[in-house]
Structure 1
Amino acid sequence: MRYFPAFHDLTARPSLVVGGGEAAARKLRLLMKAGARPVVVAPKAVAEIAALARRGEITWHPRAFRAGDVAGCGLVIGASGLAAVDAAVAETARSRGVPVNVVDRPDLSSFITPAIIDRDPVVIGISSGGDAPILARQIRARLETLLPANLGRLARFAGAFRGAVAAQIGDGLQRRRFWERFFSGPVADKVLAGDETGARETMLGLINGRDAQRQEAGSVAIVGAGPGDPDLMTFKALRRLQEADVVLYDKLVGPEIVDYARRDAERIYVGKAKGHHTKTQDEINTLMAEQALAGKRVVRLKGGDPFIFGRGGEEMDYLQARGIAVEVVPGVTAAAGCAAAAGIPLTLRGTALAVTFLTGHAKDGEPELDWASLASGKQTLAVYMGVSTAATLAGRLIEHGLAAATPVAVIENGTRPEQKVVTGRLDTLAERLEVEGVTGPALIVIGEVARQALEADITADLQNAAAALPQAV
């Protein structure tokens, strides 16, 4: 994030606009809506600016820019369209610590003006950091269609009752829950429909009724965050993150996903890696229960799907045994997400009629699996947590009849920008992982479905080798 988003209070403050053309007029309209006292400096001005000056709505100095014009201003806008003038405006403002924006010159600006959705007092700014203003405007147009016209009226209505609600509901958490119910309930619907009289009567009943003091029980949502790409999260997962008071997240959950949580939510890292646990599973269970019993909404955020090698079932049983409400929000599991991202089908007509998910790591070392069953038939094996036990895994499968030449594909950091796919044969799996420096998190796909990826890599290697040979003259 290059620009820190913020809203300036310009009420009754002088704001300087240098320039008298249409670009300056556009900026003036925004400043006037924000309640500023615009001052225009320009030798000449378009009719709109001149008319505003005649009516006394702005101050216009019909002359060239002077350094002293910046003094006392809340912000400065350079809109002359003349490179030398706009550069002088920017340099003067910066030297005096005054925020400055130069139209179409983000390199000279200390702030930029976003595309704006105005439902006063609700204001939404959309910025592309100056790189793609047309895209920002298109996003604004889409959002405009989703937001009710009376959204500002709803915000003002709520603001009128903030003091009464604060006086009636002293506890901050209870007060936030009250407002959450308000904005998704019938009172808000009445305001948006234009029935403020009816909404006011109903609101007074809510504030003074028992419901206002209702203690809401805590809960835990065990949420699957998917294999890594934030775009693969479900809508429900996003909603639960936005509602959470506390978020406990795993090693496999990237910061870009955790950032979807409310800014004031408490974030607790509880990641576990082989041989190193920030917190034990017992400690995680206890922490979830303590937070929920304190009345908080807890999200236990896990990579992939919480019920596929995620210990979500254990956590659910622990919480339910203590009378805590638990919701499980499924996620895209690593096998499905990573294989798709690598272009490898897990099932394929005539080649793989089934897919088996298995773990390469167990509590006491090697997992107890039916190796003979896994080594037989037309199926795909999707192995979680198998990097450190790859040699043992391959050996057991070959020992029980799976061909040594069976194709394998290892997908490290699947669905993420740094995704890496390593292919090979089953009998050389461990060596390939070591040579390629694969440490995980990674999914191992074993079966004929990986052949196309393997052959593509072999072809690419041959082409690269041929390109490296000396060319005949």
Structure 2
Amino acid sequence: MPRYYPAYLDIKGKKCLVAGGGEIAERKINLLLKCGGSVSVVSPELTRRLKELNSKGKIKFFKENFKEKYLKDIFLVIGATDNNKVNIKIYKAAAKKNILVNIVDSPEMCNFIVPSIAERGDLIIAVSTGGKSPALAKKLRKELEDRYKFEYAKFLNIMGDLRKKISSKIRDKKKREEIYNKLVDSDIINLIRDGNNKSAKNRIDEIIKSYNL
């Protein structure tokens, strides 16, 4: 039975804390920022990239070791230090306050884990091994990245626009699902992949018109 309940978090505007300023912390911070988080960093040192983010006001930086006071109003905390005693301190303090906490490479000190992700625009495919084998998760992610390329991001954007049009004109849920499935099961993605954008548009128009849209 899986230990973790799979979910995607909406962290836009939420206060997130990262303890640590090395390369691993940098990767975590970049993803938090990309997802709209308001990120604070507490660490004695920062990588060059993190110094740039700090100078541009993209992150709030506190130049010292972690202290519990930095958890005030925090939604999510990631511990990415190379000091196990500090990581334990972070975990215990966050858990006591019922804050979402992830200590990198220490699943026993996490109440959530971060999966390996294959990303193509708004298409995000997450792979998790429950913390048992990050290496396997990474391998599977690379295989997914080889399988799902740029055409899926482009197709997803098209589907997003079509969904608005279809939802506004067709009230019947089953009929809408029928149209969506027909679009997804068609050869549109292959046409986009092969650079046949005109043919892809024609196929979309053909399907849409068959439902009098």
TM-score under structure 2 normalisation? 0.89
* CA deviation after TM superposition for structure 1 residue 128, in Å: 0.8
Task: Tell me the alpha carbon deviations over residues 402-448 of structure 1, each in whole angstroms, 9 at most, x when there is no partner.
Answer: xxxxxxxxxxxxxxxxxxxxxxxxxxxxxxxxxxxxxxxxxxxxxxx
Task: Tell me the alpha carbon deviations over residues 279-316 of structure 1, each in whole angstroms, 9 at most, x when there is no partner.
Answer: xxxxxxxxxxxxxxxxxxxxxxxxxxxxxxxxxxxxxx
* CA deviation after TM superposition for structure 1 residue 206, in Å: 3.3
Moved more, 162-171 or 78-87: 162-171
What's the counterpart of residue 53 of structure 2?
A: 52
* CA deviation after TM superposition for structure 1 residue 90, in Å: 1.2
Secondary structure of 1:101's counterpart equals strand
What's the counterpart of residue 33 of structure 1?
A: 34
Paired residues of 2:77 and 2:99 also in contact (CA < 8 A):
yes
| Distance in 2 (alpha carbons) for counterparts of 1:157 and 1:26 | 30
* CA deviation after TM superposition for structure 1 residue 61, in Å: 1.0
| Distance in 2 (alpha carbons) for counterparts of 1:38 and 1:196 | 40
* CA deviation after TM superposition for structure 1 residue 119, in Å: 0.9
What's the counterpart of residue 20 of structure 1?
A: 21
Counterpart mapping for 1:198-209 below 5 A: 199-200=200-201, 202-204=203-205, 206-207=207-208, 209=209
* CA deviation after TM superposition for structure 1 residue 45, in Å: 1.8
What's the counterpart of residue 139 of structure 2?
A: 138
Paired residues of 1:153 and 1:192 also in contact (CA < 8 A):
no
Paired residues of 2:21 and 2:47 also in contact (CA < 8 A):
yes
Residue 91 of structure 2 corresponds to residue 90 of structure 1: yes
What's the counterpart of residue 212 of structure 1?
A: 211
Change (3 A) 1:195 1:93: farther
Paired residues of 2:182 and 2:207 also in contact (CA < 8 A):
no
What's the counterpart of residue 79 of structure 2?
A: 78
Paired residues of 1:87 and 1:108 also in contact (CA < 8 A):
yes
Paired residues of 1:182 and 1:188 also in contact (CA < 8 A):
no
Higher helix share: 2
Residue 34 of structure 2 corresponds to residue 61 of structure 1: no
Paired residues of 1:53 and 1:59 also in contact (CA < 8 A):
yes
Secondary structure of 1:170's counterpart equals coil
Paired residues of 2:151 and 2:193 also in contact (CA < 8 A):
yes
Bigger relative contact order, structure 1 or 2, given CA contacts below 8 A and separation 6+? 2
* CA deviation after TM superposition for structure 1 residue 195, in Å: 5.5
Secondary structure of 1:4's counterpart equals coil
Unaligned segments of structure 1, at least 5 residues: 214-473
Paired residues of 1:40 and 1:60 also in contact (CA < 8 A):
yes
What's the counterpart of residue 165 of structure 1?
A: 166
Identity %: 28
Unaligned segments of structure 2, at least 5 residues: none
Secondary structure of 1:76's counterpart equals strand
What's the counterpart of residue 100 of structure 1?
A: 101
What's the counterpart of residue 117 of structure 2?
A: 116
CA RMSD of aligned residues (A): 2.1
Change (3 A) 1:158 1:128: same
Paired residues of 1:154 and 1:192 also in contact (CA < 8 A):
no
| Distance in 2 (alpha carbons) for counterparts of 1:188 and 1:127 | 27
| Distance in 2 (alpha carbons) for counterparts of 1:60 and 1:194 | 45
Secondary structure of 2:211's counterpart equals helix
| Distance in 1 (alpha carbons) for counterparts of 2:57 and 2:127 | 32
Paired residues of 1:118 and 1:124 also in contact (CA < 8 A):
yes
What's the counterpart of residue 297 of structure 1?
A: none
Paired residues of 1:117 and 1:144 also in contact (CA < 8 A):
yes
| Distance in 1 (alpha carbons) for counterparts of 2:27 and 2:149 | 25
Paired residues of 1:12 and 1:36 also in contact (CA < 8 A):
yes
What's the counterpart of residue 260 of structure 1?
A: none
Secondary structure of 1:51's counterpart equals helix
| Distance in 1 (alpha carbons) for counterparts of 2:207 and 2:169 | 11
Secondary structure of 2:177's counterpart equals helix
Secondary structure of 1:150's counterpart equals helix
Q: How many residues align?
A: 211
Paired residues of 1:11 and 1:34 also in contact (CA < 8 A):
yes
* CA deviation after TM superposition for structure 1 residue 149, in Å: 2.0
| Distance in 2 (alpha carbons) for counterparts of 1:30 and 1:154 | 24
Q: Greater Rg, structure 1 or structure 2?
A: 1
Change (3 A) 1:22 1:186: closer
| Distance in 2 (alpha carbons) for counterparts of 1:202 and 1:149 | 19
Secondary structure of 2:58's counterpart equals coil
| Distance in 2 (alpha carbons) for counterparts of 1:126 and 1:62 | 34
Counterpart mapping for 1:172-191 below 5 A: 172-191=173-192
Task: Tell me the alpha carbon deviations over residues 30-67 of structure 1, each in whole angstroms, 9 at most, x when there is no partner.
Answer: 21222222210012222222222112222211122222
Paired residues of 2:18 and 2:40 also in contact (CA < 8 A):
yes
Task: Tell me the alpha carbon deviations over residues 67-103 of structure 1, each in whole angstroms, 9 at most, x when there is no partner.
Answer: 2322233311001121221112112222222211001
